[in-house]
Amino acid sequence: MGVGDAVKWGFLSTANINDKLLPGAEASPDVELVAVASRDLGRAEAYARERGIEHAYGSYEDLLADPKIEAVYISLPNSMHVEWSIQALEAGKHVLCEKPLSRHPEDVERAFDAAEKAGRILMEAFMYRHNPQTKRLKELVEGGAIGRLRLVRAAFSFPLDDAANVRLNDELEGGGLMDVGCYCISGSRLLAGEPESVYGEQVAAPSGVDELTRGAVAVTRQNAINHAYIRPLAFFGYGPIDIKPKQACAVTVFIATRELGTFLGEKALRNGARVTISSWRKFHHSAMPTMAKASGHYANSVLAAHEALDRGYDDAILLNQDGTVSSATGENVFFVRDGQLCTNDETSSIVPGITRDTILQLAREAGVPTSVKAFTREELMRADEIFLTGTAAEVTPVCEIDGAEYRTGKDTLGARLQRAYLAAVTGKDPRHHDWLTWV
């Protein structure tokens, strides 16, 4: 390869994604696509013939042995990325490998060690990182155009109904995170830098990959429900009666959906809920993981909710053992005082709900001063207004706590945030379409 000569490329596989590269390759004077390989020679020949590629090979090894080929694009399944990247590097080829290169750091290190030893370039195919818009975005963020970066929220999804798709094959390292989810991680790292700590949670489907979003979309679509409450439930299935079920009981998942009414009633949603402080205390996060939505946890909420009904109230708020406020029976608690929005966090043994997170984001966008910290019953009772948030409750105002009355109505901050929330989750606010999964 001389200076100014086009680089001669080969495709390792006949994957559909290859066709996304062909127009750019054909338009570039620096690229010459000369070969394609498949484990099936007939498939490689048909692929090459249809796309005007000069050479077709019936094995990946044969393509790598071709001395005319200087670089390869690897679009094989995820589980084969590192293996064939290393083989291509050792054969003297530069490598552009589809993302993600691997989920195992030690394998990534091996691949880049092989590139260094061979004196060749290895690159992961995150195309967006080379887009001028991405470069400009990074410059703006680093230059303080949006102020101090405090939060990156990323979402990337699409419906996938083909059960035979390689993205749903655990043995080939499929799954949402290993497909489009890696873009979210890459983008977050690009803008915010490397993380100091990482927390992740997955409930794998029978295929072994993270299919729950796909299942939730399918169930909702098949039941033709417009305003649905979706409840995925993972549990230990049939096996011995034991307190160590993971030893012998497989994890089973089902997804239920039903029409969602108003959690505390239409009257409460419009005019405010009447709430009492329960005599039952919230269990501490050191006793059980309060961040998890576990079925057994709701016994605590049921006791408090029944007590509220017996007292003539719509709902109850539970305190922690130290007297600070935890949450309502199925909702997070917000209050407003002197124009400042206040709520608590995981240290108060709450479930950090997605509705809570949405309200905090909408408040930040509206420039509302916000405080997130533990607060006492006394601080709550001195509030100007109070509202509750949750998947079922959405944003419900509170008009009374044990006889003390609070502001409600369309001019309150809670009502403004309620309108913004409803606009976002119903698709009426185009700024937040990326929050939605379209059914």
For every one of its 439 residues, what pLDDT tens digit does the chain have, with 9 covering 90 and above?
Answer: 555 689 999 999 999 999 999 999 999 999 999 999 999 999 999 999 999 999 999 999 999 999 999 999 999 999 999 999 999 999 999 999 999 999 888 999 999 999 999 999 999 999 999 999 999 999 999 999 999 888 887 878 777 767 778 887 878 888 888 888 899 999 999 999 988 877 665 556 666 666 676 677 778 888 887 777 888 888 888 888 888 888 888 777 788 888 877 777 777 777 899 999 999 999 998 888 887 778 888 899 999 999 999 999 999 999 999 999 999 999 999 999 999 999 999 889 999 889 999 999 999 999 999 999 999 999 999 999 999 999 888 999 999 999 999 999 999 999 999 999 999 998 999 999 888 877 7
Rg (CA), the chain: 27
List, edge to edge, every strand of the sheet that includes 31-37: 55-57, 31-37, 7-12, 71-74, 94-97, 122-124
- The catalytic residue positions are 99
* CA pair distance 398, 315, nearest whole angstrom: 10
* CA pair distance 225, 268, nearest whole angstrom: 24
pLDDT recorded at residue 93: 97
Q: If you ran DSSP here, which 8-state letter would residue 342 be given? A: E
Q: CA dihedral defined by 259, 264, 266, 270, rounded to 10 degrees?
A: -130
Question: Residue 172's closest CA among 77, 98, 83?
Answer: 77
pLDDT recorded at residue 205: 61
Question: Residue 427's closest CA among 416, 411, 438?
Answer: 438
Tell me which H or E stretch contains 57. Answer: strand 55-57
Residue 278 in 3-state DSSP?
Answer: strand
The CB density around residue 120, as the number of other CB atoms within 10 Å, is: 18
pLDDT recorded at residue 360: 96
DSSP state string for 417-428: HHHHHHHHHTT-
pLDDT recorded at residue 439: 76
At which residue do the structure tokens 């019936």 appear?
A: 58
Task: Identify the structural domains of the chain with CATH numbers, from first to last.
Answer: 7-125 (3.40.50.720), 211-260 (no CATH), 266-435 (3.20.10.10)
Q: Specify whether the CB–CB gap between 396 and 269 falls below 8 A.
A: yes
Tell me which H or E stretch contains 12. Answer: strand 7-12
Q: β-strand 7-12 against 31-37: which pairing, if any?
A: parallel
